[in-house]
């Protein structure tokens, strides 16, 4: 669903292009940090450190860390 008019999309895009690469990087990092804090606030408080890290990874990246590690190893072995 997209409820933003084409005119507004173009204006926002123009405003973003006017920013330096550094400014855009800082904005992206700030948004990631904010999203991470929201995820952390939603996790149960009594998790072990390992379980906390696993759940945080899964919520942020949408994949189990074990699957990512396995895929990375498979790719390294193929090289």
In b/e form, how buried is each residue of 15-24, taking b as 16+ CB within 10 angstroms?
eeeeeeeeee
Task: Dump pLDDT digits (tens) for 38-74.
Answer: 999 999 999 999 999 999 999 999 999 888 888 889 9
pLDDT at 22 over 90: yes
Region 13-25 average pLDDT: 97
| Backbone angles phi and psi of 71, in degrees to 5 | -65, -40
Please state, for a pLDDT cut of 70, what percent of the chain lies above it.
100
Please state, for a pLDDT cut of 90, what percent of the chain lies above it.
77
Cβ(58)–Cβ(69) under 8 Å? Answer: no
pLDDT at 2 over 90: no
- Say how far apart CA 37 and CA 31 lie, in whole Å: 10
Domain boundaries, the chain: 1-42, 45-79
- Say how far apart CA 68 and CA 56 lie, in whole Å: 14
């Amino acid at each position: 669903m997209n409820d933003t008019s084409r005119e507004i999309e173009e204006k926002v895009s123009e405003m973003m292009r006017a920013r330096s690469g550094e400014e855009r990087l800082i904005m992206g990092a700030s948004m990631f940090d904010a999203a991470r804090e929201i995820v952390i606030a939603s996790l149960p408080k009594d998790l072990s450190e390992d379980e906390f890290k696993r759940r945080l990874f899964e919520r942020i990246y949408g994949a189990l860390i074990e699957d990512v590690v396995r895929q990375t190893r498979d790719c390294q072995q193929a090289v």
